[in-house]
Amino acid sequence: MSRAGQRRAGAHAGRRRRRSGGSYVLLGLVFVALLGVIVFTVRPGGWPRTGTASAADSRSQGRSPGSVSAAPVTSPSAVSSTSPSAPASTSASPSSSTTPPVTPSATATTSPPATTSPTVPKSGTGVFATALASGAAAGHGDIRHYKVEVEGGAGISAASAAHEIQSILANPRGWTADGHDGFQLVSSGTVDFVIKIATPDTTDAICGAAGLHTHGEVNCDVGPTVVVNLKRWLLGSPEFDGPVVDYRALIINHEVGHRIGHGHETCPGPGMLAPVMMQQIDGLKGCKANQWPYDAEGHYIQGPSVP
């Protein structure tokens, strides 16, 4: 082969070698690029990154920690190597933010305090103290003056009892509703009758002297004296289904009724109001308990007369 032919053949071979070398370089660059993508996207443990980058990741990628929302850095010893990294936007760990469940417990219930009956002394001193109380006259016509006395040792206030009795006798449904009887509480001077509140033993003594047997249970009316048994004043009566203050009104109206001339009466019929002059402590006989002589319309509540 001539020299010129040899030069042309060498030139063609050189161009072929340069083209082959350029292909290898291009393939190498592509491989490096793919490797970089794989390294960037794949994280330790085989899990892809999600969420907000931590400050440590920023530093490893050449970014400033201030440019991202940094999450607290947890030491490797405190994190299991098999668990994926928690996103920085996740709230604090359950051990610090989750409220422990409240164990239901039975609510303590308290029963209302039992109502206890007042203690009634069986006997007292036998000496009576007059209530230092007085008031205006109530009613019209014959105004009867009265005072209130309480036995020593009874345990109640004479003044309080006197004011309670005064309000009973002045009630519009009381004896003043008849238009010709009136009453006035006084603490001294001449009186038409006395209301004594006495212990059961003293009640028996006073009433027994007049031939009345109260057996420590009931009241009586002796001459100008109305004797109220302390037991009934404090406890009322099992036959009377109203409050004890209503039964006190029955006691006063019944006994004062005797003072102004009324005798005993009985039940006028089943379902009707019992007359105040009925001895309701002995049973209602079909009537309804009642403590007033007159009804709301001013009609006298009356029953058949009995001894």
Q: Is residue 212 part of a domain?
A: yes
| Domain encompassing residue 206 | 128-263
Q: Are 234 and 118 in contact (CB under 8 A)?
A: yes
Residue 33 belongs to some domain of the structure: no
* Residue 257 belongs to some domain of the structure: yes
In a domain, 258, yes or no: yes
Per-residue pLDDT tens for 105-154?
A: 444 445 555 567 889 999 999 999 999 999 999 999 999 999 999 999 99
In a domain, 100, yes or no: no
Q: How many domains is the chain built from?
A: 1
In this prediction the pTM is: 0.64
**SS3 assignment for 157-185:** CHHHHHHHHHHHHCCCCCHHHHCCEEEEE
Instruction: Give a yes or no: residue 15 inside a domain.
Output: no
Decide if 280 contacts 247 (C-beta within 8 A).
no
Q: What is the mean pLDDT of the chain?
A: 78
Residue 113 in domain: no
So what's the pLDDT on residue 33? 62
pLDDT tens-digit map of 14-32: 555 555 555 555 666 656 5
- What is the CATH number for 216? 3.40.390
Render each residue's pLDDT in the chain as its tens digit; 307 residues: 555 454 554 544 455 555 555 555 566 665 656 665 454 444 444 444 444 443 334 333 444 334 334 334 344 343 333 444 444 444 444 444 455 554 544 444 455 555 678 899 999 999 999 999 999 999 999 999 999 999 999 999 999 999 999 999 999 999 999 999 999 999 999 999 999 999 999 999 999 999 999 999 999 999 999 999 999 999 999 999 899 999 999 999 999 999 999 999 999 999 999 999 999 999 999 999 999 999 999 999 999 999 9
Scored b (16 or more CB within 10 A) or e, 98-135 reads: eeeeeeeeeeeeeeeeeeeeeebeebbeeebebbebeb
Residue 234 contacts residue 249 (beta carbons within 8 Å): no
Residue 171 near residue 123 (C-beta atoms within 8 A) = no
In a domain, 173, yes or no: yes
